Amino acid sequence: MRSDGILGVGRGGGSDQNRATASAVVESRRRWLKRRETWLVLLGVALHAVYMLSIFDIYFKTPIVHGMDPVPPRFSHPPAKRLILLISDGLRADKFYEPDADGNYRAPFLRNVINNQGRWGVSHARPPTESRPGHVAIIAGFYEDPSAVTKGWKANPVEFDSVFNQGRHTFAYGSPDIIPIFCSALPHSTWNSYPQDFATDASFLDEWSFDQFESLLNRSHHDPKLKELLHQDKLVFFLHLLGCDSNGHAHRPFSSIYLNNVKVVDKIAERVYHLLEDYYRDNRTSYIFTADHGMSDKGSHGDGHPTNTDTPLVAWGAGIKYPRPATGHSHSDSVASFVDKHAHDMPTPYDWGLNRVERVDVNQADIAPLMTSGDSGANVKRLEQETDAKIEQLKKEASRISNDVVAMLLKHVTTVKN
Ligand SMILES: *[C@@H]1O[C@H](CO)[C@@H](O)[C@H](O)[C@H]1NC(C)=O
Ligand SMILES: *[C@@H]1O[C@H](CO)[C@@H](O)[C@H](O)[C@H]1NC(C)=O
């Protein structure tokens, strides 16, 4: 006897016919149970799938609000005609500012700038501290939306505006993972990137970007059209320097190769500066040097540890203030521009030797309005507008949802009643 025991039949005697009917009933009952089980399992799987998808639907939404009015620039006569953006991928703040074992600083040129010519600080990145979200924060002024993870942080799930888009022309050289994000769909851009796995020593990648830039200026001596373009205003030159990132992954940030790459990057900043000052001789170039994210001691990045989020920022050139002596105990910290919860008041380590120069920290996404309007407060203004737009959108959605919910509940209630 098998499972017919539940029904309590087939135990004691009875006629053959009775037994046959009983076992037929049992058989059909068993089949019915089995079907029900299958349905139950399928229902369970379907429900779990719906729950899991709902997480994506609810949280993985783009934060970009479309149709905003551009914030007008603060100056009618901007002090700069062109902007140089140097991003050293994976360069963490402490390795950049601190001296080496012999007491020599690794970035002598940029230190000289900090002490005599421009402003410095720590730019606070936000996790995920990956290259793409970092560059999007610097160049487009918002923190990458989580929906980009569905494209592997490669393509743009939603089109967005950027500093490059608002300029007259952008020249960009660097990694094939970064440059095309901003430039491939931009008609007013000239860009180039090296093939993947291009060099064995990664600092060579930095040299490549510089050579491209130098040969652009060289070409302009024989190309009147290019020369004319280079003398227009609203130009952006972007050099993406991947060396520190690759060397940090391969050899960790304590290795001599990584530390040497910091020197290479400083040298490139110096060469770019002298090249441009020689080329234009008009004092109307602004320079921004920063990094997209840091590098943890293990040679990785992505999380919110200070080694990953603290990156250097050095700004100098047209329109940028000269250094000021530090006042009081700490660097200036303008409360309005820090809307997230970073520990901005990390004191300047003594061995950086910069305690006497005023330090200006920024959130990474504030670099974009700094580049466009010279005012990192503009981001606060934009955020206010965006928040208004978002609240309006939420209100609209809420009213739509509640109608749907009410309709569904009503329908349910009526079916139960019938
Ligand atoms: C650009 O021109 C200078 C001076 O003529 C030369 O030394 C340099 O090698 C050239 N650079 C490139 C990348 O062609
Ligand atoms: C550029 O600045 C330097 C140093 O301040 C000054 O000597 C020079 O005359 C300026 N050049 C122009 C074209 O304004």
Task: Give the pocket of ligand 2 (CB within 6 Å).
Answer: 281-283
Ligand 2, atom 4: closest residue by C-alpha: 283
Which helix (H) or strand (E) segment holds residue 121: the answer is: strand 119-124
- Beta strand 362-363 with 310-317: parallel, antiparallel or unpaired? unpaired
Ligand 1, atom 14: closest residue by C-alpha: 215
* Cα 246 from Cα 111, distance rounded (Å): 24
Which amino acid is residue 40, in one-letter code? Answer: L
Length of the chain measured in residues: 418
Choose among 133, 364, 121, 88: nearest CA to 248.
88
**Percentage with pLDDT > 70 across the chain:** 77
Which atom of ligand 1 is nearest to 214's Cα?
A: 13
Choose among 45, 49, 48, 57: nearest CA to 150.
57
Find the ligand nearest to 284 CA.
Answer: 2
Ligand 2, atom 10: closest residue by C-alpha: 283
Span 68-107, pLDDT tens digits: 777 777 677 888 899 999 999 999 999 999 998 888 999 9
* Cα 279 from Cα 273, distance rounded (Å): 10
- pLDDT of 216 > 80? The answer is yes
Task: Give the pocket of ligand 1 (CB within 6 Å).
Answer: 211, 214-215, 218
Interhelix angle 243-251/203-220, nearest 10 degrees: 170
* Averaged pLDDT, 386-391: 68
- pLDDT of 345 > 80? The answer is no
Whether the CB-CB separation of 338 and 305 falls below 8 Å is answered with no
* Cα 279 from Cα 277, distance rounded (Å): 5
CA–centroid distance, residue 70 to ligand 1 (Å): 40
Select from 117, 279, 283, 284 the residue to mutate for testing ligand 2; criterion: most ligand atoms less than 8 Å from CB.
283
Paired with 363 in beta bridges are: 124
Span 98-108, pLDDT tens digits: 998 888 999 99
- pLDDT of 150 > 70? The answer is no
Whether the CB-CB separation of 245 and 131 falls below 8 Å is answered with yes
Average pLDDT, the chain: 82
Hey, what are 269's tokens? Answer: 């900043």
CA–centroid distance, residue 209 to ligand 1 (Å): 14
* Cα 272 from Cα 299, distance rounded (Å): 28
Which atom of ligand 2 is nearest to 282's Cα?
A: 13
* Cα 285 from Cα 117, distance rounded (Å): 13
Which amino acid is residue 231, in one-letter code? Answer: H
Span 184-199, pLDDT tens digits: 888 889 999 887 776 6
- Beta strand 235-241 with 189-193: parallel, antiparallel or unpaired? unpaired
* Cα 415 from Cα 303, distance rounded (Å): 50
- pLDDT of 414 > 50? The answer is no
CA–centroid distance, residue 283 to ligand 2 (Å): 6
Which atom of ligand 2 is nearest to 283's Cα?
A: 1
pTM (predicted TM-score): 0.77
Find the ligand nearest to 221 CA.
Answer: 1
Which amino acid is residue 367, in one-letter code? Answer: I
Which atom of ligand 1 is nearest to 218's Cα?
A: 1
The per-residue pLDDT for 18 is 77
